[in-house]
Amino acid sequence: MDLAQMIRDVPDFPVKGILFKDITTLIKDPAAFREAVDRMAAPYEGMEIDLVAAIESRGFIFGAPLAYKLGAGFVPVRKPNKLPAETISASYTLEYGTNTLEMHKDAIRPGQRVLLVDDLLATGGSAKAAATLIEQLGGKVVGVAFLIDLTFLHGVEKLKGYDVFSVIQF
């Protein structure tokens, strides 16, 4: 199945000049959603993933079924003030300002093998921040998996040193 063709381009979202890759047209199709999850999981079968950490909130749509399929636990990486217990946080810069991500302090036990998941790799800032948080908690980032890599933004370079995988490249 050509998953790339099932993604809709929406011009000028969320701001003028951005051509947004809308995954909702793909994930509402049962066969396409299944294939997307299966292809994201494939490199990690048998790799003893303890936890899948996914970035709020589109990352949850792929990270949660990956955790289920791989027999792992699920850890949310969230925007500020969403997690109720004690957190650690990391900030990263965007074109326009900064964003912050948080994880619970008790989300990971030292030595656990963690797969980091998000829907889309752009400049890599959020994934890099999340990977840093996982490592601060003592986790090992076994891989970083995306459905989509916007290769012209060179996010892979920001994630140098990590094993990065994507199903679709634009």
Active-site residues: which are they?
A: 58, 95
- Binds its own copies by CB under 8 A, chosen from 40, 44, 76, 126: 76
Nearer to its own copies, 9 or 157 (CB): 9
In 3D space, the residue among 96, 156, 83, 41 whose CA is nearest the CA of residue 75 turns out to be 83
| 29: contact with its own copies by CB under 8 A | yes
Q: Is 38 exposed, middle or buried (0-12, 13-18, 19+ CB in 10 A)?
A: middle
Sole window of 33-41, 88-96, 124-132, 139-147 interacting with its own copies (rule: CB under 8 A): 33-41
Q: Reduced to 3 states, what is the DSSP secondary structure of residue 50?
A: coil
Q: Is 85 exposed, middle or buried (0-12, 13-18, 19+ CB in 10 A)?
A: exposed
DSSP 150: -
Give min distance, CB of 169 to its own copies, in A: 20
What is the contact surface with its own copies in residues (CB under 8 A)?
8, 10, 13-14, 20, 22, 24-25, 27-30, 32-34, 37, 50-51, 56-58, 60-62, 64-65, 67-69, 71-76, 78, 81, 83-85, 104, 106-107
